[in-house]
Structure formats: C-alpha cells, structure tokens
Amino acid sequence: MQLSQRPSARAGVSRRAGVTVRAQAIASPVSATSPSGSKNSLANIAVLGASGYTGAEVVRLCSGHPGVKVTALTGDKQAGKSFSDVFPHLVTATNTPKLVKIDDVNFGEVDAVFCCLPHATTQEVIKKLPSTLKVVDLSADFRLRDPASYGHEHAALELQKEAVYGLTEIYRDEVRKARLLANPGCYPTCSQLPLYPLMKSKLILAEDIIIDAKSGVSGAGRAAKEANLYCEIAEGINSYAVGAHRHMPEIEQGLTEAAGHPVHISFTPHLINMSRGMQCTMYVKMAHGVTADDLRAHLAATYEGEHFVRVLPKGVMPHTRHVRGSNFCLMNVFPDRLTGRAVIISVIDNLVKGASGQGLQNLNLMMGWEETTALTQLAMFP
C-alpha cells in the first residue's frame, strides 16, 4: 500500500529565513520500499524497547498508519511474550509480532527503527545498526550537539554529528533530509514551541526566563521504582531533579540558537498525580514596548496553518485534559501583574506530542509521507 502524494497546506518556521518567513510543507514522493524492493509494499518498522510506555504508543499509533507494518518488537526482559500480554489494551492491534531480544532482529528486513530505549543506552545500539536504516531515537542520546553537554563519554560521536534534532514545526526542512532523528524531550517540546519563535523575533529577553513544568507519572517511564508507587505520588505533587534535569541543556541549546547568543534558564520539573499530560508555565521579560498581546499575535501568525500547534483565543486557558491522547500542543499568552513580564502556558500529551506522536510525525516527513498520517485523532475527554 502506498500513501497518496498530496501537497500539505501547512507551513513551518524556518530558522534560516526568520520567524515571519514561512516554508511550505510539500510532501515528497514515498521513498520507502520493502527489503524486497517493491514500491507498493508497506515499510517494515522495528520498535526497540517496545515494552515501555513510548514503545506502546508507537505501536498504537502505527496500527492506524496505512504505510507501515510493525515487523519487530523488542523487550529483552519480556522476550517471548505476545505484545497483548504486556499491553492488554492493545489486544485488538492485529498482526503484532511477539517481543524478542534486539540481537534476534533481522535488520536486513527492516526499513525504519523507533528506538524507545533508556537514556545512555541507545547510542550503543544505534551505532551497530545498518547505516541504510531510517532511525527515530526517542532517548536523549543524540539531542545535544555538543558532546560535552551530556556529562559522560559519548559512544557514537560520528553519529552524533549526523543526527538531526526533530522539533518538527521548527526544523521541518532538516527533518525531511534526516536519516538519524533525535526526537526532542517532552519538556523541551512543550517549552520551545512557544519560546523559540518569540526569542528568534527578539520579542522576549534572554534573561530571567523561568519554566515551571509539570508532567504526568508516565513521563518517569514504566520501570518499577519506589518513587512512582501509588502511595508515593497519590494526593500530592513534588519537584525533582531541581537545577539538574537533563532537559535544561536541551532547552538552552534551542533558545541559544534562536537568540544568537547564550541563553540560560531556570527550569524546575514537577511530578503530578495523573497518568499523562504536561504543562509548561513560562515567565518571560518582554522587549521594550512589547505587550502580551504582541507575543500572542506573533505566535498565532507563526503557527497559522499548522495542524498540531494551536494558539488559543485570547483569555482561553490551555488544559492538559484537552490534549490527552492527541498530538496537539495548545498554548496561550497572558499579561503578568508585573510590568514588562508575560506568562506563557503550553500543554501537550507527554507520550504523544512529547514523544511517540512527534516521532511518527517526524518519520512521516523522513519517509516522504503526509505529515499528519495516523496522527489526526482528537483528544480524549473526559
């Protein structure tokens, strides 16, 4: 089955052309073929680390994709089990293979790979994969352009140079040409989508940016951890990794690029008692003479025509429950009571737009498919 080739009406922010210049997102011909070379065959997809939450989301989303077939699922500790035994909610997903160990996957029969493996382990796996494969990495292992920023020795420096950072609406043109795609983190996605264009246009100042971020418990992963037990998280909220979260250098990298000079932020993440969802509340100083209405108008113009990023009407508050299960990002801008400051609020589903959904959005571009394929489902409510 081959996806139809229809042009997209959406436009993206070009980091080279400036924030007000928009680049048309035109679908390119489907480039994927099966290992047999048939142009009409589905693209074979392997999901590495499929026993975690992001892996399950990839499978869920791909089950509605007309151009792909999930042919390999790995989960070393769950090897040999049926996927529906590990994730019973996906029992109706047809033709899903059993979980196997990574070493048992025949990558010669695979066209593209989603890596949903733990941070600091993916680089070792990806460097052993055939260089012909398209790879979407959902870990943090290839997001930072300066290897020293990782705080540990990087095991695949040559691949690090090749990796393209996949914040789709900002780097759409680069994503199309990517072979190895570093999918952004959830907090960096939620915060950079509003902050990047405002910083690029110099409507906000690079100083005193505060990001107060909150995530559902699924953001901590599926591995059994005492801190994530029901009694540890119920009826409360708690901060973690204060002043030391790995997403801080990732956010600063993007904002530094937008500003053209170093940008440093205050960023504090919080774990909140819900399964999925994320909100970033950002406090910014505005440039002289700029108002909160100016910020909102610029974001509305920047993302006009985008399918997944929406600036809400003036005064309407973004809610995490309004993006649950979807690939959408909702945002808005409000005046602060302090003169010269504004409050920006952005919400996403941390497992979809913050991980697997954006990953599939990027793979669609990398393979030359319509960008929104298998991602147009609306949010679930209640």
Specify the pairing of strand 99-100 against strand 18-24.
unpaired
What CA–CA distances, in Å, run from 166 to 138, 182, 209, 268, 357? Answer: 10, 6, 23, 23, 12
Is residue 219 within 8 Å of 278, Cβ to Cβ?
A: yes
Residue with tokens 């393979």, as numbered in its chain? 367
Is residue 277 within 8 Å of 321, Cβ to Cβ?
A: yes
- DSSP3 helix / strand / coil % (the chain, rounded to 5): 30, 20, 45
Q: Could you please report the per-residue DSSP string of 322-352?
A: GTTTSS-EEEEEEE-SSTTEEEEEEEE-TTI
- Residues annotated as catalytic (active site), given as ranges: 186
Q: Could you please report the per-residue DSSP string of 252-266?
A: HHHHHHHHTS---EE
Residues 6+ apart with CB under 8 A from 145: 160, 165, 253
Helices (H), 18-89: 53-62, 83-86
